[in-house]
Chain A
Amino acid sequence: MSLDNAPDAAFNEALIKEVLEQYPEKAAKKRGRHLNVKKTDDAGASSCGVKSNVKSVPGVMTIRGCAYAGSKGVVWGPVKDMLHISHGPVGCGHYSWSQRRNYFNGTVGIDSFVTMQITSDFQERDIVFGGDKNLDKMIDELNDLFPLNKGISIQSECPIGLIGDDIEAVAKKKHKETGKTIVPVRCEGFRGVSQSLGHHIANDAIRDWVFEKSKPEWETGPYDVNLIADYNIGGDAWPSRRLLEEMGLRVVGMWSGDATLAEMERAPKAKLNLIHCYRSMNYICRHMEEKYNIPWVEYNFFGPSQIAKSLRKIASQFDETIQANAEKVIAKYEGLVADILAKFKPRLEGKKVMLYVGGLRPRHVANAYDDLGMTIVGTGYEFGHNDDYQRTTDYVKEGTLIYDDVSGYELEKFIEKIRPDLVGSGIKEKYATQKMGVPFRQMHSWDYSGPYHGYDGFAIFARDMDLAINSPIWSKFKAPWKAA
């Protein structure tokens, strides 16, 4: 690696070659299309140069999940006043039970259901005879036990689509009988190539089974916005909401962290959609734009430079009052930002970071690291599409190692050879990385910390990166009698 910590394109290209040599020929060819370095051509066009959103190669240890994870785990699970049925065998709901830290206010089991595992627990007879009848009955049972629920979503697991169940018919029937919102979601795990299609299917279900079935009464205001695709992990959406409110905007819907069904239903009444995780909810924003004429703006609330940029970008959609407010908000937090940087930047400056995460973070957090004087030397998406990689070019430096749908083997080798000062990825990657003596933070769950959004979150982000990298334990890895 070069001395100034900027990514070394030649080194990274050689590394890719070395890693690919370990694969059988066919797999090497397939994987080769997903590994590259960021380049800008003579005409000034930047590219990550990788293929994405295609099937994972069997047997290489992909880190990806499935469509069910994208729908139940990401989009629908956080909607707090609905019951979400994991429809099928017991496992999917079990492993995803309470694991995404979608914070919410409410009373569990009474008016909120986020941290519950509700499943039809398929048995062999359900596979043979189908599960529709039982689903019908189950919905009655749930309404009886949880009368304050506002609706029910049916999250399909693999068998549902394979045995030919008609969950849509059940949903229609139960909606008619109970008047409640019932949302069938065809997010069987074998659909698509990753979580991503699950997001899309979940978005479509909002369109078809929420928007089309409800007519909310709502007195609209000039500053009504929806905060879209913030899942409130560790409470992320709350500092974000604060900033928007401080600017004078009225957040009429939060999707889907800490969301109620009412907040989803009234979304088409807002003036503007603000979208954080582009990957998981751009579909519904595009739909609202087409059908209800609501424009949408991507924003980024990680780190002070992106926050300020985003606040101004959002404000530019409104009048001068809001624009002036945005400046006031930015000014208000200048002191806090200066204090955070004074405290943490000297401890983090010059450190190299490798990321491998999901929807928006492989690019969105890059500037938060920049703000702290740290450099992203490698990044990649579990389930990104071409438009994600295109957006990434604005965030990362020339020569940055890019890896799409990285395999366990590749990531381990990249880390071993690059020896970054920090890796940000998931629970499956955490322990192998740490054992190599490389500091690690989980960047899906914020490693049980957070929030990381907004100015309040940036302080925590900076603290967490510091405590990971500067822990005294890293110096104890080698037994003293084996030193040197």
Chain B
Amino acid sequence: MPQSADKVKDHISLFKEPEYLELFASKKAQFECRPTDEAVDAQAEYTKTWEYREKNFAREIATINPAKACQPLGAVFVAAGFEGTLPYVHGSQGCVAYFRSHLARHFKEAVPIVADSMTEDAAVFGGLSNIVEGLQNAYTLYKPKMIVVSTTCMAEVIGDDLSAFIATAKEKESVPADFPVPFAHTPSFVGSHTTGYDNQMKGILNYFWDREAQLTATAGEKINIIPGFDGYAVANNREIKRYLDTMGVDYTFLGDVSDVYDTPSDGEYRMYDGGTTLDDTRAAINAKATIGLQEFCSLKTLEYVATKGQQTVAFNYPMGIGATDSFLMKVSELTGKAIPASIEKERGRLVDAITDSQAWLHGKKFAVFGDPDFTLAMSAFLMEMGAEPTHVLATNGGKEWEAKAKALLASSPFGASGQVWAGKDLWHLRSLLFTEPTDFIIGSSYGKYLEKDTGIPLIRLTFPIFDRHHHHRFPTFGYQGALRVLVEILDRVFEIADNTDISFDLTR
């Protein structure tokens, strides 16, 4: 008998028991009608070839294991970062179940979002009555300070007009006339979750700066930070704030999920906690400058902010030495505040650590996949450590990203062997890894299938991370974050080195 009460075996060990192995074999032999083992092996080998790679890259329509999500995911993420805000999705309810699950699996937090549950009749008549009823119910039941509306593709295809619908809902007193209901159209057949982030952030600023009241900007001393879609936002936002506080900078962090997606367990469920206050959001128009930490999450937003007379600057995920240097120097330049010695010391400690360890990284080849800004930062940091980004892939990367990534690789001898793959998916990457292998893969949990197939170790450093716990609770931004990224990479390098008998060194 395979099971016992004494030592309970779950799926991890139960299915290795002989009774189950026998069951699998007999099911396969008698009932499954699968291809022969030889045919499977032959095809598996064939997928490793250049010929298969060419076939794989010749496809024009099929998308296989893409590393991107759709717009409304980014939109609800933005909305969650504001004080007392309930994200609201106009369209099919199934999408919302997906967004909530997806974010909850990564952050290990409750993710409250409502849908207005449009069904077949709404497809015919439009979703006006859904929004009228939905806003009233959400407002009454969950008592938010703001409801932020985005759309699913169903509402987009039938052409529902959010501006008009929300106005009508207010006329019908679903919510008070002065209750903030910013919105953004977020069709999932355009761009990705990073596009949705951008659209929704712009929608919120636009609501407070132009629609609620026509505000006139009076440039002050504050700066605004727009973090972008970031699975590590909980810790990264806090790390950026720590720097700004240490420098004595007056700032507004726009869309700050750090407390929202990291609430304590003390017996109380906080549906709303933290987030940027609505007053700070209104006042953010008076900032001197707005910094986007992720260019490709804030293209349209920064363009809009610039029309208010602010300076705008965009970074590509401030991770690594140079990226953190540039960020801090820019903040210093914008605010006139010096970078204090304590931060310089942190920098020195990071450089010290890399110096100690660089021999283990020099010349190691990496495949990096993820969002456009992450992949740029990760590649740059690898090159700073003497490692070589060999394949840099962003399914949601466009021409601008491609050009930027190519320029980045060209800027260092460590990028000389690097290739940039815009718009490609993880099935493409599989072919790349078989034909032009790397030593490591850096990406999200989805990379585990690549690791299994190719045997190349995966280092999880970007959203989503479903199969490891709490990584997102520690920063990757700034010098401290870079130190942590360094350690994660090193751990994997040493683990591999230990996978041998002869080189099983005690000291490395």
Interface string of B121-147 (1 = CB under 8 A from A): 011000000110111111111100000
B267 and A437: CB pair below 8 A? Answer: yes
Q: Are B140's CB and A23's CB within 8 A?
A: yes
Question: Nearest chain-B residue to A88 (Cβ)?
Answer: B153
- The stretch from A284-292, A314-322, A404-412 touching chain B is A404-412
| B435 on the A face (CB < 8 A) | no
Asked whether A262 lies within 8 Å of B59 as measured between CB atoms, the reply is no
Q: How far is the CA of A57 from the CA of B133 in the complex (A)?
A: 8
- Residues from chain A with a CB closer than 8 A to the CB of B189 are 88-89, 122-124, 126-127, 159
Output the least CB separation between A80 and chain B (Å).
9
CA distance A437 to B142 in the complex (A): 21
Q: Does A213 contact B (CB under 8 A)?
A: no
Decide if A456 touches B14 in the complex (CB within 8 Å): yes
Q: A66-B92, A94-B66, A238-B20 are in contact. Are A407 and B141 (CB under 8 A)?
A: yes
Q: How far is the CA of A154 from the CA of B475 in the complex (A)?
A: 41
Are B93 and A65 touching (Cβ within 8 A)? yes
Task: Tally chain A residues at the interface, Cβ within 8 Å.
Answer: 124
Q: Is A434 an interface residue (CB 8 A)?
A: yes
Shortest C-beta distance, A261 to chain B (Å), equals: 8
Which of the listed residues A59, A81, A145, A479 has the most CB atoms from chain B within 10 Å of its own CB? A59
CB contact under 8 A between A142 and B62, given known A91-B95, A190-B119, A456-B2:
yes
Most buried by A among B27, B153, B157, B189: B189
Would you call A162 and B154 a contact (CB within 8 A)? yes
Q: Which of B101-109, B230-238, B252-260, B479-487 contacts A (4 or more CB under 8 A)?
A: B101-109
| Cβ contacts under 8 Å, A111 to chain B | 34-35, 39-40, 43
Chain-A contact segment, one of B67-75, B217-225, B328-336, B339-347: B67-75
**When A and B form their complex, what is the total count of cross-chain residue pairs whose Cβ atoms lie within 8 Å?**
350
**Nearest CB of B to A25, in Å:** 10
The reply to whether B31 and A190 contact each other, CB–CB distance below 8 Å, is no
Within 8 A of B (CB), among A66-87: 66-69, 81
CA distance A141 to B99 in the complex (A): 30
Which A residues are CB-close (under 8 A) to B109? 431
Q: CB distance B68 to A55 under 8 Å?
A: no
Tell whether, in the assembled complex, residue A90 and residue B70 are in contact, meaning their CB atoms are under 8 Å apart. Answer: yes
> Which residues of the partner chain A approach B140 to less than 8 Å between Cβ atoms?
22-24, 27
> Would you call A238 and B158 a contact (CB within 8 A)?
no
Q: Are B267 and A477 in contact (CB under 8 A)?
A: yes
Q: What A residues does B135 contact at CB under 8 A?
A: 59
Given A431-B110, A449-B10, A69-B70 contact (CB < 8 Å):
no
A124 to B139, CA, bound (A): 33
From known contacts A138-B61, A147-B43, infer whether A430 and B94 are also in contact, taking CB-CB under 8 Å.
no
Q: Say yes or no: is B82 at the interface (Cβ < 8 Å to chain A).
A: no
Q: Contact: B112 with A61, CB < 8 Å?
A: yes
State how many angstroms separate the Cβ of A436 from the closest Cβ of chain B.
5
> Which residues of A from 238 to 253 have beta carbons under 8 Å from B?
238, 241-242, 245, 251-253
Asked if B69 and A190 make an inter-chain contact with CB atoms under 8 angstroms apart, the answer reads no
Cβ distance B89 to chain A, nearest Cβ, rounded Å:
10
**In whole Å, how far is A48's beta carbon from the nearest beta carbon of chain B?**
23
Contact A191 B119 (CB under 8 A): yes
Least distance between A64 CB and chain B CB atoms (Å): 6
Q: Contact between A26 and B92 (Cβ–Cβ < 8 Å)?
A: no
**B213 contact set on A, CB distance < 8 A:** none
Q: Contact: B62 with A141, CB < 8 Å?
A: yes
B118 CB–A CB distance under 8 Å: yes
Known interface pairs A26-B133, A27-B137, A456-B3; A190-B11 also in contact (CB < 8 Å): no
* 16 pairs, A vs B, C-beta closer than 8 Å: A22-B140, A58-B130, A58-B133, A59-B88, A59-B135, A64-B93, A65-B97, A94-B70, A96-B98, A137-B60, A336-B4, A407-B141, A435-B267, A449-B11, A451-B11, A462-B5
Known: A91-B98, A336-B5, A409-B141. 20 other contacts (CB 8 A): A24-B140, A27-B137, A59-B114, A59-B116, A59-B133, A60-B114, A66-B97, A69-B98, A81-B34, A99-B105, A105-B28, A120-B63, A144-B55, A158-B91, A158-B92, A162-B158, A189-B154, A342-B5, A432-B269, A459-B3
